[in-house]
């Protein structure tokens, strides 16, 4: 059984604050500072260039990849970290498209995160071979998996509403029509019990600074299924994805399996912080995280509906099709979220009117949920959000 009281004690959580935004940026693991300090002084400082071998820096992308892989149901040796999620989307999509040369459609949905759609547009423009990005409503994805679809590019959990797609079903449909699947796990990894292997997913990508708590700008990850890992051509053919980087050959030859999805030098300092976060993830089972998350989100929905009737639920009520976040519509959502933050409950706002709250059992418990509901009740009972200071918009919402 996962011990969530223990994991909670391992995070730096500012006094008096209830942090319901771990879905955007996870909090700091207490021992991350020591870990980074040690990598800086003992490894970078003392070992200098020899750290690549002595401290094992060069193998970190696959070693860390496997620790993430356990949380998303990936086979060992099939996840590697590096770059940012946008870049990994491009990489996975480019590889998948090349494996379906006779087809020209990338199918995505309007609930997808804009960066995924932008990367697809950019790739299509660069290829200039007549590809089309077809964006349909989330509920219409299944019906639009037709025989001209090369690849589906779907984010499992919608960043605005928390609606969870049926990965197994959609992957099956795609395969039945001869299409490949790229799944974005930005709001799945560390949030829900995704099982890539059981679902037979072809490619998956995700980031580590949201639910996984790797720190701002922490590296992304990419998964390639065993049957494709030795076939997929990496569109970004950097030297560290070469089969022998230190042979410094003039022409590119892809590395073995997932190694080929590496591009350039791994971010060793950022990996130190991510590795500290994974020390905590190593202590829990995703099934326990998922059931605790469902209990917390159910509790929050019931509390808000009882005490803040002006908020309208934007997330699915059925926990089986909901991720680990709860969103509500409110016309003055931006100002209201600023008022909530002033009351010590941090969530975030997504245009046009969504107030979003994320729940991570690793550091949020039932008491926090009750307390958050009471503080929100105060904000709405007193219409605190009408105060002028809450109307000013910052760049990051």
Ligand X SMILES: *Cc1c(COP(=O)(O)O)cnc(C)c1O
Positions in the binding site for ligand X (CB under 6 A):
84-86, 113, 115-116, 155, 159, 184, 186-187, 207, 220
Shortest distance in whole angstroms from residue 163 CB to ligand X: 13
Name residue 164's beta-bridge partners: 157
Least Cβ distance, residue 119 to ligand X (angstroms): 9
Taking the C-alpha atoms of 47, 48, 52 and 56 in order, what is their torsion angle to the nearest 10 degrees? 30
**Residue 397 Cβ vs ligand X, minimum distance, rounded to whole Å:** 14
Q: How far is the CB of 45 from ligand X (least distance, A)?
A: 29
96: left (phi over 0), alpha (psi -120 to 50) or beta: alpha
- Interatomic CA distance for residues 189 and 204, integer angstroms: 11
Token pair in block for residue 226: 């065993």
| Residue 392: CB minimum distance to ligand X, A | 25
| Residue 113 bears catalytic tag | yes
User: CA-CA distance, 155 to 320, in Å (whole number)?
Assistant: 16
Residue placing its CB nearer to ligand X in the complex, 80 or 335: 80
Question: Nearer Cβ to ligand X, position 117 or 369?
Answer: 117
Catalytic residue, chosen from 209, 334, 363, 380, is: 209
Q: Is 116 designated active site? A: no
Taking the C-alpha atoms of residue 37 and residue 19, their distance in angstroms, rounded to an integer, is: 26
In angstroms, the Cα distances linking 272 to 28, 61, 215, 227, 264 are 12, 11, 10, 31, 17
Given 113, 328, 349, 380, the catalytic residue: 113
CB of 220 or CB of 314, closer to ligand X: 220
Q: Which is nearer to ligand X, 202 or 368 (CB)?
A: 202
CB 99 within 8 A of CB 113: no
Catalytic residue among 21, 356, 363, 390: 356
Check 210, 260, 322, 350 and give the catalytic one: 210
Q: Facing residues of 133 across strands?
A: 106
Does residue 184 carry a catalytic annotation?
yes
Looking at 83, 116, 184, 202, which residue is catalytic?
Answer: 184
Q: Looking at beta carbons only, is 104 or 134 nearer to ligand X? A: 134
Q: Which residues are annotated as catalytic?
A: 113, 184, 209-210, 356
């Amino acid at each position: 059984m996962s011990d969530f009281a223990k994991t909670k004690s391992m995070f730096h959580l500012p006094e008096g604050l209830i942090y319901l935004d771990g879905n955007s940026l996870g909090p700091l693991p207490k021992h991350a500072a020591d870990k980074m300090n040690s990598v800086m002084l003992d490894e970078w400082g003392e070992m200098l260039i020899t750290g690549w071998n002595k401290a094992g820096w060069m193998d970190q992308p696959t070693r860390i990849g496997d620790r993430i892989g356990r949380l998303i149901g990936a086979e060992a040796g099939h996840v590697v970290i590096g770059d940012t999620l946008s870049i990994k989307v491009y990489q996975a999509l480019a590889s998948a498209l090349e494996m379906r040369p006779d087809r020209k459609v990338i199918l995505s949905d309007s609930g997808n995160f804009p960066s995924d759609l932008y990367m697809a547009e950019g790739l299509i423009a660069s290829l200039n071979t007549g590809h089309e990005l077809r964006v349909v409503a989330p509920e219409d994805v299944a019906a639009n998996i037709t025989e001209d679809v090369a690849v589906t590019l779907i984010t499992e959990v919608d960043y605005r509403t928390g609606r969870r797609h049926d990965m197994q079903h959609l992957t099956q449909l795609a395969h039945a029509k001869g299409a490949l699947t790229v799944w974005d796990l930005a709001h799945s990894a560390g949030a829900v019990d995704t099982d890539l292997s059981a679902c037979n997913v072809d490619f998956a990508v995700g980031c580590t600074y949201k639910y996984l708590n790797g720190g701002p700008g922490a590296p992304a990850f990419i998964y390639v299924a065993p049957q494709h890992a030795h076939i997929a051509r990496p569109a970004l053919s950097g030297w560290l994805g070469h089969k022998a980087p230190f042979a410094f050959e003039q022409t590119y030859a892809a590395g073995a399996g997932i190694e080929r999805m590496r591009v350039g030098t791994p971010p060793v300092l950022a990996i130190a912080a991510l590795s500290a976060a994974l020390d905590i993830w190593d202590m829990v089972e995703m099934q326990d995280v998922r059931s605790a998350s469902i209990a917390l989100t159910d509790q929050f929905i019931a509390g808000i509906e009882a005490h803040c009737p002006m908020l309208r639920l934007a997330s699915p009520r059925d926990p089986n099709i909901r991720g680990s976040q709860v969103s509500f519509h409110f016309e003055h959502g931006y100002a209201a979220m600023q008022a909530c933050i002033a009351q010590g409950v941090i969530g975030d706002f997504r245009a046009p009117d969504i107030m979003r709250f994320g729940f991570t059992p690793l550091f949020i418990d039932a008491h926090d949920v009750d307390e958050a509901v009471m503080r929100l009740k105060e904000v709405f009972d007193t219409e605190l959000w009408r105060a002028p200071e809450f109307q000013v918009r910052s760049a990051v919402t």
